[in-house]
Amino acid sequence: MTAYPFVEKSVPGLLARAEERLAAEFSTLPEAGPDSKYSPELSQIEAVLEKTASWLGDNYPYFHPLYAGQMLKPPHPVARAAYALAMAVNPNNHARDGGRASSEMEIEAVRGIAEMFGWGSQSDSGGFLGHLTSGGTMANLEALWVAGQLAPKSGIAKRIVGSEQAHYTHGRISSVLKLEYAPVKADARGRMRLDALEDELRKGDVGTVVATLGTTAIGAVDPLEEILVLREKYGFRVHVDAAYGGYFRLIRDHLEESARRAFEAISQADSIVVDPHKHGLQPYGCGCVLFRDAAVGRFYKHDSPYTYFTSKELHLGEISLECSRAGAAAVALWATMQLLPLIPEGEFARGLAAGRRAAEELDRKVRADGRFEALASGVPELDIVVFRVKAASVAESSRLAQEIFDACAERNLHLALVQLPERWFSNPATAKDAPEMVTCLRSVLMKPEHEAWLPRIWNELDTATAKVLQT
C-alpha cells in the first residue's frame, strides 16, 4: 500500500535488528521487576490495533501516486523506522539530560539544512542559530517573535508585511504577538508586487518583510533578490518562509530564472523557515527555523531551576520557545539525511527534480486541452499545477471544478481545489483588478513517483472531465 513497496518489505526485519542493537546498549541494567500495570493480554492489544487500522482506512491514500492533491508526502521508510526506534527511548530534545543522543542528532541535522542554504556553523558566539520545531507555524512564530524583539524601542511599533498570497498563519501569528501585519498585493503569478511593497516601505514603519519561496496555493516564489535590494534602501529584516519550497534550492539550476535567483539569494535572509515534513520525507511534525545571526539567542535566555545542569554544551531548550519536543523527530531527520544527503544532483535532489518535471508535463497537457485554462502568466515555478475549467461564467467554472474533483475521486485520483482571482487566467497585461474568485483544480506533484504516473493521472482526469462535461 505504500510508495516504497520494495523497501517496506525489508523494514520490519531491519527495525527488529536495530531494536536488538539498541537493547544491547542497555544490557547492563538490572531487570525492571514485575510486569507493568499497563501490560494487558496480547489479544487485547491486537483487538485495539485492529480497530485502529480499520479506522485509519477512512482516509485518502496520501502515500499513493494517485494522491496528487494537498501537500502530503509519505515519510521515507528509514524515517519511519528511525522514529519508531527512537520511541523505545522516547527522548525529549529540550534539555540534554532528556535527549542526549537525539540533541546531537538535531544539531547535526539542522547544520546540514543550514549548509543547504549557504550558512556556516552554529555556535553561541558566531555563525547561525537554529533548531527543529513542531512544524512551520511554530517556526514562523519564533522568527516573527525575534523580529519583534529586535524592533526599536522608540514607541513606534514596527509592522510586518507579506504577500497577500503568503500563508495565512503570518497574520494570525502577528496577532498573537501583538504586532501589526499588512498584506501586500500579489501579481498574476502569485508573487509579491515590488511596487506595492515599496508603497508600504515608504511609510517608514515596516520592520520585517516576509518573502515566501513556494506559496501554498500555487507554489509562487517571491522576488527575493529584488526585496533584498529594497532592504539596503529602507532597512528592514527579511524573513523567508520556505516551509514548502526550501529544499528546491538544491535544484535551483533546474528552475526558471526568477525562481533560481530567489533561491540563490536565500543565504542573505535574516531568518529562514523550512518544513522537513513536507519535501524532507519526514513524519509530522518537523519544522525548522534558522537565524543568520546567532546573537539573537539572547532573546531566548531564561532560567530553569532543574533543567540545564547536566552539560555545559548548548541545550536546545535554551534557543527555543517550545519546551518538550519529540527527540524522535530529530532522530528520523538525521537518519534520512544520512541516507539521502542534501546535495545537488544527489538522490534526494533527483526526487525533487522528478516532481518538478511531472508538474511541467501536466501543465503542458492542460494548456493543450481546450476544456481547461492554465494560469495566463506562465508555467509552474515549483511542482504545483493550477487550472480552471473553461465555462461561460465564473460560477459555472467553479461548479464544474467541484464536480470534476468529485468524479476524479471516484476513480481514485485525488486532486485539490483552490480559489484564485479570476483575473489570473486572463491576459495579465489587460486584466482588471477585479476581486472575483474562481474555484480551480490544483495538483501538488511532490512525490518522485508522480513523473512515472503522470500518464495514468492524466487519463483519469481526462475521463472524469469528459463524464462531467457530457452530463
**Predicted confidence band at 212 (pLDDT cuts at 50, 70, 90)?**
very high
Point out the least confidently predicted range of 273-282, 319-328, 405-414: 319-328
Considering the domain 349-470, what is its CATH architecture?
A: Alpha-Beta Complex (3.90)
CB burial of residue 254 (10 Å; 0-12, 13-18, 19+): middle
**Predicted confidence band at 430 (pLDDT cuts at 50, 70, 90)?**
very low
Terminal Cα distance for the chain, rounded: 34
Stretch(es) of the chain classified as CATH 3.40.640.10: 100-339
**Predicted confidence band at 302 (pLDDT cuts at 50, 70, 90)?**
low
Residues 231-259 have pLDDT tens digits of: 999 999 999 999 999 999 999 999 999 99
Residue 309 pLDDT > 80: no
Nearest Cα neighbor of 439 from 380, 373, 381 is: 373
Q: Check residue 126 and give its pLDDT.
A: 56
Residue 208 pLDDT > 80: yes
CATH for 100-339, among 3.90.226.10, 3.40.640.10, 3.20.20.80, 3.20.20.140? Answer: 3.40.640.10
**Predicted confidence band at 298 (pLDDT cuts at 50, 70, 90)?**
confident
Point out the least confidently predicted range of 42-46, 361-365, 445-449: 42-46
Cα separation, 286 vs 364, whole angstroms: 34
Cα separation, 255 vs 263, whole angstroms: 10
Point out the least confidently predicted range of 55-64, 270-279, 307-316: 307-316
Mean pLDDT score of the chain, rounded to an integer? 88
Q: For the chain, how long is the longest CA-to-CA vector?
A: 78
Residue 432 pLDDT > 80: no
Q: Check residue 5 and give its pLDDT.
A: 57
Q: Which amino acid is at 194?
A: L
Cell of 153: 524601542
Which parts of 191-305 fold into alpha helices (H)? 194-201, 224-234, 257-264
Cα separation, 133 vs 318, whole angstroms: 13
Stretch(es) of the chain classified as CATH 3.90.1150.10: 349-470
Residues 104-135 have pLDDT tens digits of: 999 999 999 999 999 975 554 458 899 999 99
Q: Check residue 121 and give its pLDDT.
A: 59
Q: Check residue 152 and give its pLDDT.
A: 66
Residues 2-19 have pLDDT tens digits of: 555 545 666 778 888 888
**What pTM does this model have?**
0.91
Helix (H) or strand (E) holding 22: helix 5-25
In the chain, what percentage of residues exceed pLDDT 70?
88
**Predicted confidence band at 153 (pLDDT cuts at 50, 70, 90)?**
low
Q: Check residue 52 and give its pLDDT.
A: 86
- Collect all residues with Cβ–Cβ distance below 8 Å to 277 and sequence separation of at least 6: 75, 135, 283, 284, 285, 286, 287
Choose between 352 and 38: higher pLDDT. Answer: 352
Q: Check residue 124 and give its pLDDT.
A: 45
Choose between 335 and 99: higher pLDDT. Answer: 335
